[in-house]
Amino acid sequence: MSELVTNLARVRERMARAAARAGRNHEDITLVAVSKTRPAETIREAYHAGVRHFGENRVQEWESKQAALSDVDATWQLIGHLQSNKARRAAGLFHSVDSVDSVALAQKLNSALADMASEGSGKISLGVLIELRVSPEETKTGVEEEDLPALVEAVLTLPHLELRGLMCVPPFFDDPEKARPFFRRLREARDALRSHLGSKFLRPGGESFLAELSMGMSHDFEVAIEEGATQVRVGSAIFGARTA
Ligand SMILES: *Cc1c(COP(=O)(O)O)cnc(C)c1O
């Protein structure tokens, strides 16, 4: 077995054990393999090993790899910060943008999709997650908690964006247990939005409003699963340490 296959089995086992501890069904948790800095052949190998969701953090990098993987039927997700001036390209390249953090960016993505739809490209909607800034670090991205409800309401009015949930990137701690309050904060922010906006946007199956919580990376995804993650973003635990 290749190292990647072994690593993948280990990650899936860690996911299953964390889910069991939390009394959750491990099938409700999606593994998003973070393939930034990895070449197309490695991504293809992960696909053959069963991975169906991939996360990339830069538009340009994915643009350069995409052609070599056009036959691979996977879900490609942008998990890194997106500048408004690259929104149009991102809208065409990804199935979802998981780092939406402003109304302006959401509007740019929506209008890009509107244009693509009218050109008959076949693509009429884009999945989005809203990134909440849970970290006190200045450099970290995401919308501030006080601005979150307004952003959610704005995204819900944009017909080409399909709002699926929330995402966060806590600060790095050697002890993953220290990330727990940040993961909990994302879940509680989602629960608060559900009770504030739920009645307004209630429809059959309304309990799935903001169903997705994307949180947890290689060193802390078990804690994230215990706190309700539905998508974990795992890079180095699958592909090995990044050199870049
Ligand atoms: C790189 C990255 C990850 C994966 O990090 P690992 O520690 O390699 O698992 C997850 N989320 C985001 C936003 C990233 O940029």
144-149 mean pLDDT:
96
Q: Domain 3-239's class?
A: alpha beta
CA distances to 5, 117, 199, 233 from 159, in Å: 40, 11, 19, 27
Q: Is the CB of residue 90 below 6 angstroms from any atom belonging to ligand 1?
A: no
Tens of pLDDT along 160-207? 999 999 999 999 999 999 999 999 999 999 999 998 886 665 555 555
Q: Are strands 53-56 and 30-34 parallel, antiparallel or unpaired?
A: parallel
Task: Report the separation in Å between the CA atom of 18 and the middle of ligand 1, taken as the mean of its atom positions.
Answer: 19
Q: Is the CB of residue 36 below 6 angstroms from any atom belonging to ligand 1?
A: yes
Q: Whose CA is nearest to atom 4 of ligand 1?
A: 235
Q: Is the CB of residue 233 below 6 angstroms from any atom belonging to ligand 1?
A: yes
Q: Is the CB of residue 80 below 6 angstroms from any atom belonging to ligand 1?
A: yes
Q: Where are the domains of the chain?
A: 3-239
Q: Is the CB of residue 236 below 6 angstroms from any atom belonging to ligand 1?
A: yes
What angle, 0 to 180 degrees and rounded to 10, lies between the N-to-C axes of helices 40-48 and 3-21? 60
Tens of pLDDT along 4-48? 999 999 999 999 999 999 999 999 999 999 999 999 999 999 999
